[in-house]
Structure 1
Amino acid sequence: MRRTRPIIAVTALALALALGSAAPAFAADPEPNAEPVHTGPPAEPEESDLVDAEPEQADDLPSLPVKPSFDQPDGSTCEPGYRYFATSKVRDYHKGVGITQSNYNGTSRTATSTFSSDVAGKVGVSCSGKLGVSVKVAIVDIETEFNVDVSSEASVTIGNRIAVETPPKTTTNGKYGVYRLKSYGYSQYKYANCTNGVKNDVTIYTPRRVGWYIWES
């Protein structure tokens, strides 16, 4: 008896994409995509005096209040130093690590664009204004006030991949990085006699999560 080989049918869908990318993009099967597709690149923070570093403890103390501690009627005393108070939050701003990756679909059908992160790095806290306290102290108040989880630093790794659908005659762009929560607050110095100094307005960006920012053009 002659043995019959089983016939295996293999179907491959190959889409010819006209690539116009600053970094390699790959065609692959779709993966779960939790990131929304935007209509434009990530917005840059409005402030121009952001510093991506942990502010040092302030040592330039404000002038002593008019009333010294021994003039306090009840003789109360406080631990002198700066305090930070979070007041409101806005939204998450994306800070990319590495270059933007782009993939143009020149066909008449929807294609799949897959991007892979190729740069490792870290994103920390940015702030404008006089913070007066350490970043860790400010983070505690932000988390308590807004019931969110943020950190002083987030790491971006190499090799994270994302697959998204690219409509016909459309370019899909992707950038991997860190979403940072933008919030407002103020710092204020409290003296030993429990009086407060002037309020220093602060805008602060605190890392919240790592992820892709995807947009079409």
Structure 2
Amino acid sequence: MNTTARRTMFISSTALLLCTALTGPTFAADETPVPSPSVSAQAEDPVINTAPPEEPEENITEVPDDTINEPTEDPTFTGKPQPGDTPNPADCSPAHGVYLPTNQGKEYHQGVGPTNSNRNNTSRTARSTFTSEVTGEVGVAISGELETSVGALIAKVKAKFGVTVSAKLTAKLGNTISVDTPSHKTTHARYGVWRLKHTGKSYWVHQNCTATPSHTVVSYSPYRVGWYLWES
């Protein structure tokens, strides 16, 4: 009798576990989702990288604020270059620079202020909170000779790729982000501005519509403000 009773209880427990496994997802779907503990209130989806941010591949020069200028429209060409003397010479006045974007690359992070780090030497996951310590501006940086203004470059990039880049963006003091740091890992955090890379051609058009040879210009334009996080 005792043996039979134990077997009956074992079968009932198995059936109960099977029923729970089959119906569990249905109950979970009716409940309000619980936010992931690794997602900060200041960052919707922080990405934890495995290495520090990449540096631009080219030797770039930061563009001074006083050379940005407002975007201007290219002059309307009234003719084409003609060989020799003609009674109606081509007119592309005033002489002007041209920039034509050709390719869009990835984002590169330019830090403002120091990089912060937090080491978790415990056996459990720990919460790390970082706060930006300074306010700073990041502008456009280029490699190559740009024949027109940065304002014109930005306008051309927006028109070509439909992205909103700026002449400069400000990373402000006091921005905070919180992330999980795994056991025996170090989380590094750098606040700053993400810049979007573009490659294009630039040249100069003379008044008679002749143009100088085009050359490559690589630009890094402010795209968004945010954190770059990585673990080691």
Shorter chain as denominator, the TM-score bin is: 0.7 to 0.9
1:71 alignment counterpart: 85
> Which stretch of structure 1 is more off in the superposition, 30-39 or 41-50?
30-39
Amino acid at match of 1:204: S
8 Å CA contact 1:174–1:213 kept in 2: the answer is yes
- Relative contact order (alpha carbons < 8 A, sep ≥ 6): 1 or 2 greater? 1
Amino acid at match of 2:55: E
1:31 alignment counterpart: 40
1:109 alignment counterpart: 124
1:48 alignment counterpart: 59
User: CA, structure 1 residues 216+41, in 2 after alignment: closer, same or farther (shift >3 Å)?
Assistant: same
8 Å CA contact 1:110–1:168 kept in 2: the answer is yes
- The alignment yields a C-alpha RMSD, in angstroms, of 2.3
Amino acid at match of 2:92: C
Identity of aligned residues (%): 41
Alpha-carbon shift at residue 107 of structure 1 (Å): 1.0
User: CA, structure 1 residues 189+169, in 2 after alignment: closer, same or farther (shift >3 Å)?
Assistant: same
2:108 alignment counterpart: 93
Where in structure 1 are there 5+ consecutive unaligned residues? 1-27, 58-66
8 Å CA contact 2:82–2:90 kept in 1: the answer is no
TM-score computed with the length of structure 1 as normaliser: 0.77
Where in structure 2 are there 5+ consecutive unaligned residues? 1-36, 69-80
8 Å CA contact 1:69–1:77 kept in 2: the answer is no
TM-score computed with the length of structure 2 as normaliser: 0.72
Number of positions where the alignment pairs a residue of Structure 1 with one of Structure 2:
181
Q: 2:97 & 2:86 partners in 1: Cα distance? A: 20
Alpha-carbon shift at residue 179 of structure 1 (Å): 0.1
8 Å CA contact 1:42–1:93 kept in 2: the answer is yes
Alpha-carbon shift at residue 165 of structure 1 (Å): 0.7
Q: 1:82 & 1:55 partners in 2: Cα distance? A: 18
Q: 2:219 & 2:152 partners in 1: Cα distance? A: 13
1:144 match: secondary structure? helix
Amino acid at match of 1:176: Y
Q: 2:63 & 2:46 partners in 1: Cα distance? A: 25
1:25 alignment counterpart: none
2:146 match: secondary structure? coil
Q: 2:214 & 2:227 partners in 1: Cα distance? A: 37
Q: 1:214 & 1:90 partners in 2: Cα distance? A: 21
Q: 1:55 & 1:45 partners in 2: Cα distance? A: 23
2:220 alignment counterpart: 205
Q: 1:54 & 1:68 partners in 2: Cα distance? A: 39
Q: 1:55 & 1:202 partners in 2: Cα distance? A: 20
- Structure (1 or 2) with the greater strand fraction: 1
1:31 match: secondary structure? coil
Amino acid at match of 1:210: V
Alpha-carbon shift at residue 77 of structure 1 (Å): 1.4
8 Å CA contact 2:62–2:139 kept in 1: the answer is no
1:196 alignment counterpart: 211
1:141 match: secondary structure? helix
1:165 match: secondary structure? strand
